[in-house]
C-alpha cells in the first residue's frame, strides 16, 4: 500500500480550519491527524472532541479519516466523547494507560480503530502484549507537546525495529510516524517501514497543495514499489 499522508491540523489556520483541511484532502491526504493535548501528559493544551465534530461535514463529503492522537492523561475517560464526535482512529500513549490492552480493546469495542504509541525515550519493549490488539502503531519522532520540532536522530531505527516486530507477529497494523516529518526525510521514514506519515507545518505553512504534492513526489518510489509488488 502506498504511504498514507496524515496532515496534522495543529498547524492549520483555525480561523479557516475546514478550508485548510479541505485543501489538504484535495491535494491527496487520506487522513487528517488531530493532536489532542491536555496540559498534563504533555506541556501544552490544544483541542478536544468539538474540533473532531467540526470536521464531520468534510469527513462525510470526502471520506477522509480522522486520525485522533490522544496525548492526554487517563484517556479512557474521553474515549466515548471522541468516538461520538466522529473519530476513525484513536491512538493512545502506552505511558498514559494503566492497562494499555484494556484501553485499546475499549476503543475497538466502541467501533473505532485503536492505535498505540510511546514517547521517544520509552523502550519499544513497552509495547509488548499490546501490539497484537491494535490497527495502528506509532513512532514518535519528536518529544510530544509542540508542533514544528526537528525529527529526532534514531527515529528511523525505531521505525525499522517496530516494523520488524509487527512483521514477526504477522500483524497488519499500520506503522505511523509523527513529528518533524518533512519532504527531505519522508522517503527515509517510509523506506524504514512507516506506512502513515504525519506532517504538520510542512503541509499547512505556505501553499498547502504544493506542499502536499511535494510529499507525493518524494514518496513516489515507495508507492511505485508497492504497486509493482501488488502486481
Q: How far apart are CA 132 and CA 230, in angstroms?
A: 25
From 13, 20, 178, 207, active-site residue = 178
- In the annotation, is 99 catalytic? no
**What is the sign, positive or negative, of the torsion defined by CA atoms of 101, 39, 56, 12?**
negative
Q: How far apart are CA 65 and CA 209, in angstroms?
A: 18
E-strand spans in the chain?
4-7, 31-37, 65-71, 89-93, 113-118, 136-140, 174-178, 196-199
CB-CB contact of 49 with 84 (8 Å): yes
From 20, 35, 38, 88, active-site residue = 35
- In the annotation, is 35 catalytic? yes
> Which residues, at least 6 apart from 95, have a Cβ–Cβ distance to it below 8 Å?
41, 118, 119, 122, 126
Residues forming the active site = 35, 178
Amino acid at each position: 500500500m502506498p504511504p498514507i499522508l496524515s496532515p496534522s491540523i495543529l498547524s492549520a489556520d483555525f480561523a479557516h480550519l475546514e478550508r485548510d483541511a479541505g485543501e489538504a484532502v484535495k491535494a491527496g491526504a487520506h487522513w487528517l491527524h488531530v493532536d489532542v493535548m491536555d496540559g498534563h501528559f504533555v506541556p501544552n493544551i490544544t483541542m478536544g472532541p468539538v474540533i473532531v465534530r467540526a470536521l464531520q461535514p468534510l469527513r462525510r463529503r470526502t471520506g477522509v479519516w480522522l486520525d485522533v492522537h490522544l496525548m492526554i492523561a487517563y484517556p479512557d475517560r474521553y474515549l466515548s466523547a471522541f468516538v461520538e464526535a466522529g473519530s476513525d482512529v484513536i491512538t493512545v500513549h502506552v505511558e498514559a494507560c494503566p492497562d494499555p490492552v484494556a484501553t485499546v480493546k475499549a476503543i475497538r469495542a466502541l467501533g473505532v480503530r485503536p492505535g498505540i504509541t510511546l514517547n521517544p525515550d520509552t523502550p519499544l519493549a513497552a509495547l509488548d502484549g499490546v501490539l497484537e490488539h491494535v490497527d495502528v502503531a506509532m513512532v514518535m519522532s519528536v518529544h510530544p507537546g509542540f508542533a514544528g520540532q526537528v525529527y529526532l536522530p534514531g527515529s528511523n531505527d525505531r521505525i525499522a525495529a517496530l516494523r520488524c516486530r509487527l512483521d514477526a507477529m504477522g500483524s497488519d497494523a499500520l506503522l505511523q510516524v509523527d513529528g518533524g516529518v518533512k519532504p527531505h526525510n519522508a522517503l527515509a521514514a517510509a523506506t524504514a517501514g512507516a506506512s502513515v506519515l504525519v506532517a504538520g507545518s510542512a503541509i499547512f505553512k505556505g501553499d498547502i497543495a504544493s506542499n502536499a504534492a511535494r510529499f507525493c513526489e518524494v514518496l513516489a518510489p515507495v508507492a511505485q514499489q508497492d504497486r509493482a509488488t501488488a502486481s
